[in-house]
A and B are shown apart, each in its own frame.
Chain A
């Protein structure tokens, strides 16, 4: 593209009042780039003006006005490269106007004007280095949806996707559909008025499913492997317990990647070991010629009952007395017929349901348990009353009674039963009393230590996602067949429960139902709809060659300059989404539609061969170099220059909100937004320091177990790289403290000035960078 540049400065929103606009227009002029101003660029007149400029041939523009986060649709022009210079939120709203000193001899440094000038220079440098993106097109494309799991969630997801017009295949490992929902006596209500128990709805759901001509049902089938990428998955299926050559290979364990002396094996030796380790299995890069093509996958593999570990519930008699059972075992008994005792088959007319095993020490639930356990206890209490109408009694001892949403009505309806008794309380012990038990509880609502006689005791154990035991999804990805680091979610398939429901750590795989968290049938059905829609969004995005999530609609994708690749595998290993597979030599094979465009690979690459059309090492590096670093040649006391690389997901918005609130911070800081801290390549930091900047900080999301990183691992990887940068700094004889990383959440805008100013103070304390002026 033949670029025709122009810089446009908006003088509205206080920009014209705070800055010397005329002086500002000289900045592009000096570079031979024309610069025009307008009182309100976002007005109809302003936009018409820009359109007339485009008609006159301008195609690469710097719009110096408000933040890129506002008016983004107003300033989007087809076929044009547009960069937004944030003069409003991050210049005039956050910094005071510098008054000329009365004493003419005193040195005047106009910090505000310098800040605005730098940002315009940086934008011009960037525009030179970026290009319009072109979408990535898959070679072959499938719009079919694969649903793994034929329980209530899988069935619902399949119906929802089929209703939307997509072809669906449901695979179920058992011989019949229905999953756990088909094994229960009655269920918690799924619709208004949410009262009492209802008959299981799974039967009617199966009938509904079977009526769709665009749904294929495969029972007694599991997924052997899923290869390829969203929009073009190649799926190999098999019978459960069957062994085939397209079973997914597992990555080599860490300890096998080294030789006897503990030295890393080279790529080829590792590959040989890997093949040995996965003998009889074909490598991931070879596609199954008989595999079926799918566009996206809904993982609805469900759960299994939690198994109580030995002795952990000894005080409740579990393991010792056969009539102390789990809620799952109780459901099995109840679904067969009358509620009876497993030990002697006699009527269980008085049943105690225990929700929390922790005595008085802690009030936590059983593992993998939650609101469903509360509602199941209420449901099962009702079974006792159904079976023994006249003299049945059911007691529920709980620490938390959770009946979310309209299920409160369900709670109320169960509570209304004269023979159901509910109380908060610590269950202290279950002891034998003839053929039955005495259950002792403390701190109850009845105010004292109480004892209750029981024929049977039921423990509210949880629902373990099946992905705890097995990857199920069996992805033919170099990083392995399952989801990485899933243990921080207790094995639930998730990537960020609060922000991104259904999203797993693998693009195109959407989890729903009990594999995501414990859910009722009602919740599972709703969840299925969400995952089905996500799968459809993925298919339609991949089809247009754009990113699905969270950078929905982003047309760029990482481009590799392979001639310079050293096969270090860092990109393959660090990609949070397993988007890259490497071959036997270790050369990465990108799978662009698996990619979420975070740029973590770009940040990782020591050879700096990875980049995006509009975001690459050179574009950001050029921005860094465009920052003016005043030295003693310019001023007696030159101001500091500090670079801030700011994550555009949460930290950059927080800075904008700080601006909206007119919070002030140092004008010595130059901000460059980055896609994710994971995309920050250390070369930018080195360049900044080498050209005399005094400090560099990274501002991004929280990392750790409760991370807020939109790309899961970006901010964590950045922090690892920042720790390692210390060596490079000491080789330059610079202090470690000149580089720092800070965390900020989107709602912590009030902390932004403190974070920035404190860092400026630290750098000031260290003194100016000795490389200044070289």
Chain B
């Protein structure tokens, strides 16, 4: 139990965190400035001071199985104020990165996503799948005809769905497995620390908690509490709602296609199309804002995991909008190439969602819900 804890530091874990961008973690001397500075840490047992000593002692279980690392929104107040340059914000970010890999199966993908040397492979995977599957089924037409440029003539919508529908199911399954383990771990941890009662999670109450925190997420309230990098809230809001809108658009068109049997491209006058275009532009703007603010911020150096995700988001937006623009401009060859690239980006973002930094959308939501559920203050 909590009053007799056998500490067995894991030196390899420390080294991995250091490699994931937490290379300053050993500089901490436990002054707790970070916990005081943090605008969103709870009053009792606040993060990130306790995470910092756990990190420098290599206490993997105390970090990975801990919802607090997800409550952090990485605003950087702690990193700016740290008198030792230990960068608690970056350390927590590294811990989250480690936790994502830990909870996602198969682990090999997680390792690949975090390894810049494996980047070409990540891009080659969809290319190979597209070409092999497209050639085998004949749904990929390298010499599309027609009067006007329509992407489905080149890359059949059937092929898109043949690939992405099962992919979405697989991603959901991987998440489901990860979340189950994650929730089990943080619950066990909370019981051990006496923060919650020793009984299984009450699903009803949990969902109630989820609903009660949704406004916080949707309004980005936690971001707005941050002192440093306040504008990050805006860019995150833009990207977040772009994705939400694009998700809605995709689903509408999915229904339109399969229920009403109406095939695109759709008219630019269609309000759904407006939404899609606005979302696409917002995505590009949001991603560009994030990239430029990260480039300006030397206090919080960004690592590969950050650039990988931002590159995907921006690439996704730019290729999407360009594919549409070139289509309207009747530049067939160019438009088909860009569309192909766009699908590669989409595949990367989707397929590696549980392994990349983007997985935070699930874990942070779960953690915030759990925190609400246990009444953490």
- Residues 1-23 of chain B: 1 if any A CB is under 8 Å from the residue's CB, otherwise 0? 01111111101001100100000
A329 within 8 A of B: no
Q: Are A415 and B54 in contact (CB-based, < 8 A)? A: no
Known: A391-B11, A418-B11, A418-B15. Is A447-B27 also a contact (CB below 8 A)? no
Q: How far, in whole Å, are A53 and B6 apart by their CA atoms in the complex?
A: 88
* B97 interface hit (Cβ, 8 Å): no
Given contacts A393-B11, A445-B53, A446-B54, contact A416 B26 (CB under 8 A): yes
- From A150-158, A299-307, A449-457, A496-504, the one touching the partner chain is A449-457
With both chains docked as a complex, state the minimum distance between the C-beta of B257 and any C-beta of chain A, in angstroms: 55
Bound CA–CA A481/B354 (angstroms): 80
**What is the bound-complex CA distance between A701 and B56, given in angstroms?**
50
- For residue B89, CB closer than 8 A to chain A, the reply is no
- The minimal Cβ–Cβ distance linking A429 to chain B, given in whole angstroms, is 12
Count of chain A residues with a beta carbon within 8 Å of a chain B beta carbon: 21
- Give CA–CA (A453, B59) in the complex, Å: 14
Q: Is the CB of A421 within 8 A of B56?
A: yes
Given that A393-B9, A451-B5 are known contacts, is A416 also in contact with B57, CB under 8 Å in the complex? no
Residue contact A418 to B58, C-beta cutoff 8 Å: yes
The answer to whether A417 and B26 have CB atoms under 8 Å apart is yes
1/0 per position for A423-445, CB-CB distance to B under 8 A?
Answer: 11000000000000010000001
If the complex has contacts A421-B56, A423-B53, A445-B53, are A450 and B27 also in contact, measured as CB distance less than 8 A?
Answer: no
A400 to chain B, nearest CB (A): 13
Flag if A449 contacts B53 (CB, 8 Å).
Answer: no
Contacts of B84 in A (CB 8 A): 412
Question: Is the beta-carbon distance between A451 and B26 smaller than 8 angstroms?
Answer: no
Q: Is B30 an interface residue (CB 8 A)?
A: yes
Would you call B29 an interface residue if the criterion is a C-beta within 8 Å of the partner chain's C-beta atoms? yes
Is B6 a contact of A453 with CB atoms below 8 Å? yes
**Cβ of B6 and Cβ of A419 under 8 Å apart?**
no
Q: Is the beta-carbon distance between A446 and B57 smaller than 8 angstroms?
A: yes
Tell me, in angstroms, the Cα distance from A418 to B57 when the chains sit together. Answer: 8
B208 CB-CB contact with A under 8 Å? no
Tell me whether B295 is interfacial, beta carbon within 8 Å.
no
21 CB contacts below 8 A, A to B, read A393-B9, A393-B11, A415-B29, A418-B14, A418-B18, A421-B9, A421-B56, A423-B53, A438-B6, A445-B30, A446-B50, A446-B53, A448-B5, A450-B5, A450-B7, A451-B4, A451-B5, A451-B6, A451-B7, A453-B6, A453-B8
B:43-102 near A, CB below 8 Å: 45, 50, 53-54, 56-59, 84
CB pair A446 B58 closer than 8 Å? no
The docked-state distance in angstroms from the alpha carbon of A415 to that of B84 is: 12
Residue pair A415, B5 in contact (C-beta under 8 Å) = no
Q: Given the complex of chains A and B, what is the CA–CA distance between A450 and B14 in angstroms?
A: 19
**Bound CA span A449–B4, Å:** 5
**CB nearest neighbor in B for A393:** B9
Complex alpha-carbon distance, A245 and B139, angstroms: 114
Distance in angstroms between the alpha carbons of A299 and B45 in the assembled complex: 53
A446 and B7 in contact, given A418-B14, A421-B57 (Cβ under 8 angstroms): yes
Q: Which 9 A/B pairs are nearest by Cβ-Cβ distance?
A: A418-B14, A451-B6, A450-B7, A416-B26, A449-B3, A445-B30, A450-B5, A445-B53, A418-B11
CB distance from A406 to the nearest CB of B (A): 16
CB distance from B88 to the nearest CB of A (A): 14
**Contact mask B28-42 → A, CB, 8 Å, 1/0?**
011000000000000
Taking a contact as CB atoms under 8 Å apart, the answer to whether B27 and A415 are in contact is yes
Q: Which residues of chain B have C-beta atoms less than 8 A from A424's C-beta?
A: 30
Whether B2 and A448, one on each chain, are in contact in the complex, defined by CB atoms closer than 8 angstroms, is: yes
Quick one: which of A438-483 are within 8 Å of B by CB? Answer: 438, 445-453
- For B170-189 the 0/1 string (1 means CB < 8 A from A) is 00000000000000000000
Residues of B within 8 A of A452 (CB): 6-7
Inter-chain contacts of A445 with B (CB < 8 A): 30, 53
What is the CB-to-nearest-CB distance from A467 to chain B, in angstroms, rounded to a whole number?
36
* CB-contacts of A390-426 with B (<8 A): 391, 393, 412, 415-419, 421, 423-424
Across the interface, do A448 and B57 meet the contact criterion of CB distance under 8 Å? no
Kindly state the interface size class of chain B when it binds its partner: 20 to 34
Residues B3 and A418 in contact, CB atoms below 8 Å apart: no
Q: Is the CB of B5 within 8 A of A449?
A: yes
Closest beta carbon of chain B to A396's beta carbon, Å: 12
Knowing A418-B15, A418-B58, A419-B11, say if A448 contacts B3 (CB, 8 Å): yes
Query: Contact mask A377-392 → B, CB, 8 Å, 1/0?
Result: 0000000000000010
Complex contact B14–A447 (CB within 8 A): no
Task: Say how far A124's CB is from chain B's closest CB, in angstroms.
Answer: 64
Residue of B nearest to A446 (CB): B53
**A415 touching B26, Cβ below 8 Å:** yes
Q: In angstroms, how far is the closest chain A Cβ from the Cβ of B27?
A: 7
Q: Which residue of B lies closest to A423 (CB)?
A: B53
A423 to B57, CA, bound (A): 9
Query: What CA separation (Å) do A156 and B292 show in the bound complex?
Result: 58
Question: Residue on A with the closest CB to B8?
Answer: A453
A416 near B27 with CB under 8 A, answer yes
> Which of chain B's residues have a CB closer than 8 A to the CB of A447?
45, 50
The chain A residue sitting closest to B30, CB to CB, is A445
Residue ID in chain A nearest B52 by CB atoms: A445
Within 8 A of B (CB), among A319-366: none
Cβ of B296 to closest chain A Cβ, rounded Å: 28
- Interface residues in B353-376 by Cβ distance below 8 A to A read none
Q: In the complex, A450→B9 CA distance in Å?
A: 12
13 new A-B contacts at CB < 8 Å, known A438-B6, A446-B57, A450-B5? A391-B11, A393-B11, A418-B11, A418-B14, A421-B57, A423-B53, A445-B53, A446-B50, A446-B54, A449-B3, A451-B4, A451-B6, A453-B6
Task: Report the minimal beta-carbon distance from A500 to chain B, rounded to whole angstroms.
Answer: 35
Q: Cα distance A640–B89 when bound, in Å?
A: 74
Taken residue by residue from 326 to 364, chain B's Cβ proximity to chain A (1 for < 8 Å, 0 otherwise) reads as 000000000000000000000000000000000000000
Bound state CA distance, A418 and B50, in angstroms? 17
Write out the residue numbers on chain B whose beta carbons fall within 8 Å of the beta carbon of A450.
5-7
Question: Which of B3, B14, B26, B45 is most buried by chain A, counting CB atoms within 10 A of its CB?
Answer: B26
Residue of B nearest to A452 (CB): B7
Q: A412 vs B28: C-alpha distance in the bound complex, in angstroms? A: 9
CA of A401 to CA of B110 in the docked complex: distance in angstroms? 40
| Chain B residues positioned under 8 Å from A412 (CB to CB) | 27, 84
B residues 137-162 near A (Cβ < 8 Å) are none
Q: How far is the CA of A446 from the CA of B26 in the complex (A)?
A: 15
The chain A residue sitting closest to B56, CB to CB, is: A421
CA gap between A446 and B3 in the complex, in Å:
11
Q: Give the distance in Å from the alpha carbon of A453 to the alpha carbon of B8 in the complex.
A: 8
A419 to B7, CA, bound (A): 13
> Residues of A contacting B53 with CB < 8 Å?
423, 445-446
With A391-B11, A447-B50 in contact, do A418 and B26 touch (Cβ < 8 Å)? yes
Contacts of A418 in B (CB 8 A): 11, 14-15, 18, 26, 58
Interface digits, B313-330 against A, CB 8 Å rule (1 contact, 0 not)? 000000000000000000
CA distance A421 to B59 in the complex (A): 11
CB distance from A193 to the nearest CB of B (A): 15
Complex CA gap A416/B8 in Å reads 18
- The residues of A that contact B58 with a CB separation of less than 8 Å are 418
**Cα A415 to Cα B27 with chains together (Å):** 7
Cα distance A451–B7 in the bound complex, in angstroms = 6
Q: How far is the CA of A673 from the CA of B3 in the complex (A)?
A: 65
When C-beta atoms are compared, the residue in chain B nearest to A447 turns out to be B50
Q: Which residues of A contact B27 (CB under 8 A)?
A: 412, 415-416
Q: Give the residues in chain A near B57, CB-CB below 8 Å.
A: 421, 423, 446
Rounded to whole Å, the gap between the CB of A692 and the closest CB of chain B is 66
Query: A64-113: which have CB < 8 Å to B?
Result: none
Residues of A within 8 A of B3 (CB): 448-449
Instruction: Output the nearest chain B residue to A438 by Cβ-Cβ distance.
Output: B6
CB-CB under 8 A from A453, the residues of chain B are 6, 8
Q: Which residue of B lies closest to A442 (CB)?
A: B3
Q: How far is the CB of B25 from chain A (nearest CB, A)?
A: 9
